Structures are given as C-alpha cells and as structure tokens.
C-alpha cells in the first residue's frame, strides 16, 4: 500500500495531502459516539432501573460489537480497500447513533451500541491501516500518536455531547453527532483512492500471532481496554454516589482525555526514537498506583483530580502498542488492515470482558475488588517488560524483541 501519489503539499512529511486530518477527524467522531454514554450512564441507570450488572452490559455492548466486527473489519479493509472500509463504518455508525438517540428501550439501546461497535471496527481498521501504510516507517509512531491524540479529542467531546444530551434530550444531541459522521463520509469519498494491495484472508493473520511484536502489541492494546472497561462502568456510578452531577462526571473524563491528547504525540515520538517499550514501562507503574487509589478516594473533587492526572497512564499505551503491531505487520508482510483488525480484537475483548464482569463483581463484593485485580494485571505486565521478564517469557516463545527498550 506504499507509494501513493502525492496530491499536493502533504499535511505531514511523506503523507498524501489531507490524509492525516481526515483520519484524525474519522477516529475523533467515532470516539465521540463511544464516550458520549459515560455521563449519561447514571441517567439510564435511574430511568431504566438498571443494576450495576445491567449498566455493565450497556457499556460493554459497544466493545462486544467491536469484538464481533474486528477481524471481518480487517478483512474488509483488505478486500474492499481501506477507504471503502472507512466509508462503510461511518455510514453504519451514523445510523446506529440516531437509533440510540431516539429510543429508550434497553433492548434497542444495547442493540444500537452493539452495531456502533461493529461499525467502529471497520472505521478504525480502515483508518489506521490507511495511515500506517502511507507513513514512512521512521515516522510511524509520531503519525499514529497524532491520530490517537485526535481520538482522544473525541473522548473530550463525547462526554460534552453526553452532558448536552442529558440536558436537551438524547435525540437532538445524537442527531447532530450523526450529521458529523455523514459529513466525514462524504469527505472520505473526495480522497484519492489508495492502492489496495493484495487481498488477504484471516488464515494469513493467524501465523502473525506468533510474532513477538504483534503478540506484545495486542496485549498492550487489550490491557487499557480492560482498564477502561472497569473505569467506564464503575467510576461514573461512584462519582454519582459521591454527589457529582453529569457535568462534573463529564469534566473528569474531559480533563483526563485532554491531558492524554497532549501526551499521545510525544509518546509516539519517544517510541520512534527510544523504542516502543520506553514509554510503556513508565505508564504501567503509574497505572498500578492509579488503579489501587480510585475506589478509596473521596470526596468527589479529589477523585476528579485523580482521574484527570491518572487516567492518561492507561490510554497512552495504545500508541506504542499500535507501533508494535504495525511494525510486526511489515515483518510478516501482513496487510495493515488485518493488523489493526487484530488490534480491534484485542481492545474489544479486554473492554467487553471487563465491562460485563466488573459491574457484576463490584455488585457481589465492592468496587475495590475489580480495581485491585486491574492493578495486578498492570503490575504483572510491568514485570514482564523488564529485560529479565522478557528473557523469561522468550523461553516460552511468547515474547521477544518488540521495538527496543
């Protein structure tokens, strides 16, 4: 997929003109649709009489949809082309968002979120594959970092959309978001068609799972998925129990996403210069402390401050993980669409499992139990990325050189 013709001055050295802004906007809008639920979760819990388990299923419906669509989305990107995969994802996402905004049945809401997740799998696989294939290898981490920064911009806007929906109604708010998706769909059609490359099947993706860089990238993608599965279910309910309004809940996640958006391009540059594991080690140590603290911090303003400062330690893992996956795909001659299909699979499996189980586990015990288990996963991974831990895992063939560090 390399060798696209330049269509004018590039928006980033080595990229076709306008590609980076378009991909940034596409993943931003997709993240808006995903994160808009966060401040609305207490509203749905109260209005529909949901338990923590029911809230967990509503949150988990999106990543479950992504889990279903992850590998098919990657295959679509190889068969139809990355641009068509992006267009299809944006179209289906916009329709599902309108349904979510104008219906109040929990069955329909769960179903609409599920379809959003399937559509998001197509959008992300197509978008990141398009970008990674066009970017020079030596600048790939930086370019992917910019894209993830834009996605985090969507995480900034999403809670605001949710807070607005809480005030004016979900229909008008989500209709406006759907219009933005349609606009980007039309903009995607104006971009030059990228070379499609050789179509590949799922059978060609399976051997790539033995590549140490791809395996490590998938785990480091799944881990923040697990973290946000726990956070997205339990933190809004805890803040609400501490007296925080939907606006305050939105502000907490908005602040965290803003800080993470600032870090993402810097993490990408660090991955390019020092190796992908350099930023991973710091992030994992901070994440352990944050996960252990969340269930015990009060009052609400103190918890908000902790979330703003601490949650970026979870999300910045996506940037070096994506660089590992993309580089591994080059080594294995795997289509970038399938590589990011594997990334979607890893993230969605982690988020869906954590969202569905954390609510039930917290209801049966208390919030501290799922957060302590989460801290344990971060701690074990921190030990695994140390040189001694990597040597030990390499004996079993599950880890090896993954980009330096």
- pLDDT tens digit at each of 405 positions of the chain: 333 333 333 445 556 777 888 888 888 888 887 878 877 888 888 888 888 788 888 888 888 898 898 888 888 888 888 888 889 999 999 899 888 888 778 889 899 999 999 998 899 888 888 888 777 777 777 788 888 778 877 777 777 778 787 777 777 777 877 788 888 888 888 777 766 666 676 777 777 777 888 888 899 999 998 998 899 889 988 998 899 887 888 788 888 888 887 887 777 777 777 766 777 888 899 999 999 999 999 899 999 999 999 988 898 888 888 888 888 888 888 888 888 888 888 888 888 888 888 888 988 899 899 999 999 999 999 988 876 545 544 544 445 444 445
pTM for the structure as a whole: 0.73
3-state secondary structure of 136: coil
Report residue 125 as tokens: 């696989």
Give the angle subtended at the CA of 360 by the CAs of 356 and 364, to the nearest 5°.
165
Three-class SS string for 7-25? CCCCCCCCCCCCHHHHHHH
Q: Cβ neighbours of residue 191 under 8 Å, at least 6 residues apart?
A: 16, 18, 19, 22, 83
The sign of the dihedral angle between the CA atoms of 11, 152, 383, 307 is positive
């Amino acid at each position: 997929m390399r060798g696209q013709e330049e269509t004018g001055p590039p928006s980033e050295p080595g990229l076709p003109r306008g590609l980076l802004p378009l991909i940034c906007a596409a993943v931003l809008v997709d993240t808006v649709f995903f994160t808009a639920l966060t401040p609305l979760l207490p509203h749905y819990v109260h209005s529909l009489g949901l338990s923590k388990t029911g809230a967990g299923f509503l949150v988990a419906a999106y990543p479950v949809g992504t889990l279903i669509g992850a590998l098919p989305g990657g295959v679509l990107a190889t068969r139809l082309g990355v641009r068509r995969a992006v267009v299809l994802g944006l179209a289906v996402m916009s329709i599902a968002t309108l349904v979510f905004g104008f219906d109040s049945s929990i069955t329909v809401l769960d179903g609409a979120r599920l379809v959003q997740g399937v559509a998001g799998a197509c959008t992300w696989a197509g978008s990141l594959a398009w970008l990674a294939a066009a970017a020079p290898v030596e600048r790939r981490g930086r370019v992917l970092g910019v894209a993830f920064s834009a996605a985090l911009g969507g995480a900034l806007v999403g809670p605001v959309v949710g807070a607005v929906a809480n005030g004016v109604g979900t229909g008008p708010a989500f209709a406006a978001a759907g219009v933005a998706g349609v606009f980007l769909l039309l903009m995607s059609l104006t971009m030059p068609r990228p070379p499609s490359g050789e179509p590949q099947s799922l059978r060609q993706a399976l051997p790539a799972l033995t590549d140490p860089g791809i395996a490590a990238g998938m785990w480091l993608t799944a881990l923040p998925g697990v973290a946000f599965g726990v956070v997205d279910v339990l933190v809004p309910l805890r803040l609400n129990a501490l007296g925080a309004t939907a606006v305050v809940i939105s502000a907490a996640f908005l602040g965290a996403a803003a800080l993470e958006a600032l870090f993402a391009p810097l993490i990408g540059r660090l991955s390019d210069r020092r190796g992908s594991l350099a930023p991973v080690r710091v992030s994992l140590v901070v994440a352990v402390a944050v996960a252990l603290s969340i269930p015990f911090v009060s009052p609400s303003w103190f918890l908000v401050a902790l979330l703003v400062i601490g949650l970026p330690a979870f999300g910045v893992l996506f940037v070096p993980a994506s660089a590992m996956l993309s580089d591994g795909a080059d080594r294995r001659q795997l289509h970038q669409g399938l590589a990011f299909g594997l990334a979607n699979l890893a993230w969605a499996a982690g988020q869906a499992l954590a969202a569905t189980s954390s609510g039930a586990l917290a209801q049966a015990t208390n919030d501290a139990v799922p957060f302590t288990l989460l801290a344990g996963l971060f701690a074990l991974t921190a030990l695994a990325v140390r040189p001694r831990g990597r040597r030990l895992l390499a004996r079993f063939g599950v880890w090896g050189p993954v980009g330096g560090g």
